[in-house]
């Protein structure tokens, strides 16, 4: 009985390791620091923080435009993320959360490198701020 328990423990540990390796980006590099223009750094979000309607609509936009790379919870683990050379980032990380709303706006809509520009896909300011508000609301 004891050897059966040891085998199960070893098998579980081995399976956990395989799953961890399979779902961890192996060849992706971390993106460099964003160079965000001053006018974006000083932007103020016109929407009241935590506005439920804005967050709800932002979630819809996120599902359509962002989820494939950034994942359900913004941890950079969406189905397309593995195809990228650069890790899409983790919205749950303290470093990301420290950005101001204008910085998130710039990163989300202007983009850089593999992060595409969304200015022609999400065209209204109201929609853009809704997406920023949803990203701010995300939790694990």
pLDDT per position as a tens digit, 44-57: 999 987 899 999 99
Q: What is the pLDDT of residue 5?
A: 45
Residue 100 lies in a domain: yes
pTM for the model: 0.78
- Whole-number pLDDT of residue 28: 82
89-98 per-residue burial string, b: 16 or more CB within 10 A, e: under 16? bbbeeeebee
pLDDT at 110: 96
pLDDT value of position 86: 94
Is 43 inside a domain boundary? yes
CA distance 107 to 124: 16
Q: Is residue 122 part of a domain?
A: yes
Identify the CATH number of the domain in which residue 54 sits: 1.10.760.10
Per the structure, the count of domains in the chain is 1
CB 67, CB 50: distance < 8 Å:
no
Domain span at residue 39 reads: 29-137
What tokens were used for 50?
């935590």
Check: CB of residue 45 under 8 Å from CB of residue 99.
no
Residue 1 maps to a domain: no
């Amino acid at each position: 009985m004891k050897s059966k328990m040891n085998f199960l423990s070893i098998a579980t540990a081995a399976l956990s390791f395989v799953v961890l390796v399979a779902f961890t980006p192996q060849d992706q590099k971390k993106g460099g620091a964003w160079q965000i223009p001053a006018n974006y750094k000083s932007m103020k979000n016109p929407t009241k923080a935590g506005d439920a309607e804005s967050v709800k609509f932002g979630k819809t936009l996120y599902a359509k435009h962002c989820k494939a790379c950034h994942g359900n919870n913004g941890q950079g683990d969406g189905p397309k993320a593995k195809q990228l050379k650069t890790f899409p980032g983790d919205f749950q990380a303290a470093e990301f959360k420290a950005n101001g709303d204008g910085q998130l706006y710039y990163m989300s809509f202007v983009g850089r490198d593999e992060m595409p520009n969304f200015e022609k896909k999400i065209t209204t300011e109201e929609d853009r701020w809704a997406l920023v508000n949803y990203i701010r609301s995300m939790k694990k």
